[in-house]
Amino acid sequence: MRLRTYLIRRAIHTVITLLVVLVLLFLIFRLMPGDPSRFFIAPGQPPQVREEICVSFGLCKWVSAPGHGYEGQIQAGAYGPYNTTVFVNGTGGNRATYNFVYNRLPTELEQRSFPVVIKDVTLSSTSSTAPRPTLPDARPGDSVTIRAQVVGSAIVPTLQVLLPDANWTAPTTNIDANSYVHWVVDAATEGRYWGNVYAANSNGSVNLTLGFVASNPPSGLDLVEDKFYGRVPTFPPDKAIISVNVTSQGAPIFNVTANVESQGGRFVQPDIHLRHPQVSERRSLAEQFVIYFLSMLSGNFGTSFYTRRPVIDEISVRIGPTLLLFGSSVIISYILGIFLGAILAWRRGTKMELSAIVVSLFFYSMPVFWFGLVLLWFFAFERRWFPLGGIGGFDPNTGAALTGISLVGDILWHMALPLGNLVILGLAGHVLLMRNSMLEVMGEDYILTAKAKGLSERRVMYRHAARNALLPVVTALAISIGGVISGGVLTETIFSWPGMGYFLVTSTLQQDYPSVQAAFFILAVITILANTVADVLYAYLDPRVRL
């Protein structure tokens, strides 16, 4: 088989393996544990927060809520009335304009520093259904009732209402049980009404401004259900959500916009597009897999639940330290392991071979965390020759960032202990593997033939024996590349090295689901690619593999 044909087949196998890995990761992270969003739902969370968590996991999606409601968000940080004009357009050319007033009134908690607390402020008219802070519909000629409760030793509160013709009136004040105050305003003419609720005591006074609109409904469109309302979202507090519930008697509605102006024209917010409210809907299993598949392949791993940053950004700043530490350890340990293993096999039976085998077995069987702790205790704690952990990069006395040669030297100083830990323990296994592979190769007929031809011992060892003995070593190297990307969890944790291994540990402990999933995916992809590279090297080193 030609090398190009072999490479094409290996590429197809790699793609199929990657698809299988994606399916397995989907089963592990999405199906086997159940709903992963349950770990991030705390008691007492509002339904909207739960829906946002479900959508962020890809388990749900936002869809338009059924009904005739259209809503949008406005700037409403200051207390007072906000004059709202809503334009409704139908596909058949029908259009209607509605005028409302959204009253941004302080809550009882927001009035904790007020000398007098005015709460439960509601408005109702003979045309409305229930008292609300925002009057949904008032017709000319209605009697509008304004009701509020005054808490505190206050004088009798008063209400001043400005009529459309700019004449001031003083409605009758009625006080009932629990300090509730009632005012009745005659909305005799069409227009916008606004007024001040005033209450005072010896500590000071409070003045709340509110309003409403009395108008005749336009023809062709009908306000339904709650008609019009406004509310303050949980976050942020300087916003408000206004909604209008309208239906068309003829052609469907295609566009709803609004203009908002605070009382006195202090703030204008034009052309606010109102849309149907968004509610979450559970995705099907097939749809979840497609979203998951496309997101993983495009590198969109979501947002970290701990740092609120994109996971790809979190990983990008940690791959560098991991590649620096583990890439250096793999290169150094494999070069030394291949060189020393070949020498030991060629000089089998000598005291040097026996001593090297004993030392290699000693370090090969040593736990990586125990040897790392020994290095920290002796070289960092007792002798203080090296730092206890970290990657460095700044002056410990001033906190200033280092640059140039000073930066490189400081990073190498911090990297000395974790690099020594990895190189010493990894070198032991590589030496033994290369020695055993060389011993098998040296018994082959082509080695005897090379010696019989009179080739030098050095040429026979490196050009004939070592090259063929590299096949098992290449396999071990390909497997170890996955560890280079994922990072040694134990090593990076012991030496506080800010790499992928330490990131995987902290993300797991914090139940940072997107970060853990991304780390496992990158580990799987790199391992697949590394094995593909190993197979290609196999085919290059030994053409018999292509048969």
More confident site: 545 or 503: 503
pLDDT of residue 112: 80
Average pLDDT over residues 523-528: 77
pLDDT score of 464: 64
Least confident residue range of 42-56, 58-72, 312-326, 464-478: 464-478
* pLDDT (average), residues 42-59: 74
Residue 350 has pLDDT above 60, yes or no: yes
- 169 vs 401, higher pLDDT: 401
Q: What is the rounded distance in angstroms from the CA atom of residue 340 to the CA atom of residue 334?
A: 10
Given the structure tokens 């098992």, which residue do they identify?
A: 472
* Residue % of the chain over a pLDDT of 90: 0
* Minimum mean pLDDT range among 248-257, 367-376, 392-401, 429-438: 392-401
Contact 197, 211 (CB under 8 A): no
Using CA atoms, how far apart are residues 327 and 487, in angstroms rounded to an integer?
A: 10
CB 243, CB 230: distance < 8 Å: yes
Domains of the chain plus CATH, in order, are 3-63+281-297 (no CATH), 69-276 (2.60.40.10), 311-546 (1.10.3720.10)
Residue 160 has pLDDT above 80, yes or no: no
Residue with tokens 């200051």: 78
pLDDT digits (tens, 9 = 90+) for 236-250: 778 888 888 888 877
Secondary element (H or E) of residue 358: helix 351-364
For 169-212, the three-class secondary structure string (H helix, E strand, C coil) is ECCCEEECHHHEEEEEEEECCCEEEEEEEEEEECCEEEEEEEEE
- The set of residues, in sequence order, having a beta carbon less than 8 Å from that of 43 and lying 6+ positions away, is none
Q: What predicted TM-score, i.e. pTM, was given to this entire model?
A: 0.58
Q: Distances from the Cα of 242 to the Cαs of 39, 72, 98, 175, 540, in angstroms? A: 33, 6, 13, 32, 69
Q: What is the pLDDT of residue 286?
A: 85
**Backbone φ and ψ of 107, nearest 5°:** -75, 170
Is it the case that residue 177 has pLDDT exceeding 60? no
- Tokens, residue 440: 């098998």
Which of 101-105, 226-230, 333-337, 463-467 has the least mean pLDDT?
Answer: 463-467
Please, is 508 exposed, middle or buried when counting C-beta atoms within 10 Å of its C-beta (0-12, 13-18, 19+)? middle
Task: Give the pLDDT mean for 427-443.
Answer: 76
Q: What is the pLDDT of residue 153?
A: 67
488 and 421 Cβ atoms separated by less than 8 Å: no
Per-residue pLDDT at 511: 74
Which range has the worst mean pLDDT, 316-325, 354-363, 454-463? 454-463
Q: Average pLDDT, whole number, for the chain? A: 78
- pLDDT of 168 reads 47
| Strands of 426-532, DSSP E | none
pLDDT-based confidence at 165, cuts 50/70/90?
Answer: very low
Position 271 pLDDT exceeds 80: yes
Strand pairing partners for 90? 253
Q: Lowest mean pLDDT of 44-53, 62-71, 92-101, 370-379, name the range.
A: 44-53
Top-confidence residue, 175 or 193: 193
**pLDDT at residue 187, rounded to an integer:** 84
**Per-residue pLDDT for 547 more than 60?**
no
Residue 274 is classified by DSSP as: P
